[in-house]
Amino acid sequence: MRIAGGFSLSREVEDILIADAALTIGFALVLSGGVFGVSSFGFILMLPIALVAVSLSFVLHELMHKFVAQRFGAMAAFRKSDYGIIITLITSVFGFLIGLPGATVIYAPHFTRKEEGYVSLAGPLTNFAVFAVFFVIGSVAFSGFSQNFLGSLQTTSLTAGTYLRAVVGFTVFISIYLAFFNMLPIMPLDGSKVLKWSKPVYFTMMATIFVLLFMITGLALIPNLVFILIIALVLSMVYRSIIF
């Protein structure tokens, strides 16, 4: 099945699987301390956790962009970015993540600013849904979950229960982190399009994201988020000129 511009459905599936794998490896590296602090066991431990969290948070995010675009009569397809994958993996080596492995490309001859805003908003809202579902699961299944989302993965006391708690906790964290990153007001991220469409919607979304991030990490993550914003701004100057 061909969907647009010589781009096939099988190629789309291949692209999103490659992007998902790259982002999974990137998050596993970051969550295990970056390449300079990671142990092989720590990376292996984090890899399945990152795979679950990224697949739910990233793949569903991109698919929702596609489905909403199609509802507006557009054609849409996910396309990986080789340059973006390189950026994703290189930054993760240094213990932080600029996740740009690809994006859903919209094919529409006439697409209003409002329609573009709705399509862009669909991805971060999907991350909110993943956050909510796994927050409820964690709160019901694990005592003290709301006070310590990420739990502990000490290898000396690792059990199936603590590992499953980590899967749930990191899914909560990664879902809202990806919402934050994608809502940054820079091209080619969702936030730039939402901001162009509606400032009240944009600032409501960002306020909600910061409240949820504060619930998980308190103020500890704020310096990292500011650092990521600065790096993302610099990279976007280059990235916006790259054709997927």
Residue 58 lies in a domain: yes
| Half-sphere exposure at residue 21, Cβ-oriented, CA atoms within 13 angstroms | 8
Residue 244 lies in a domain: no
| Half-sphere exposure at residue 169, Cβ-oriented, CA atoms within 13 angstroms | 23
* CA nearest neighbour of 218 among 141, 144, 150, 127: 150
- pLDDT top residue among 217 and 197: 197
- pLDDT top residue among 127 and 43: 127
Most confident option among 72-76, 106-110, 239-243: 72-76
Domain count, the chain: 1
Q: Residues 164-182: pLDDT tens digits? A: 888 998 899 899 989 988 9
Model pLDDT, residue 234: 63
Q: Is the pLDDT of residue 112 over 80?
A: yes
Active site residues: 62
Model pLDDT, residue 166: 86
| Token code pair at residue 205 | 């979304």
Model pLDDT, residue 43: 82
Distance CA 91, CA 228 (A): 10
- Give residue 68's pLDDT band: very low, low, confident or very high (50, 70, 90): very high
Residue 106 lies in a domain: yes
Residue 115 lies in a domain: yes
**Structural domain that includes position 107:** 2-239
Specify the 3-state DSSP secondary structure of 105. strand
Distance CA 189, CA 91 (A): 17
Residue 68 lies in a domain: yes
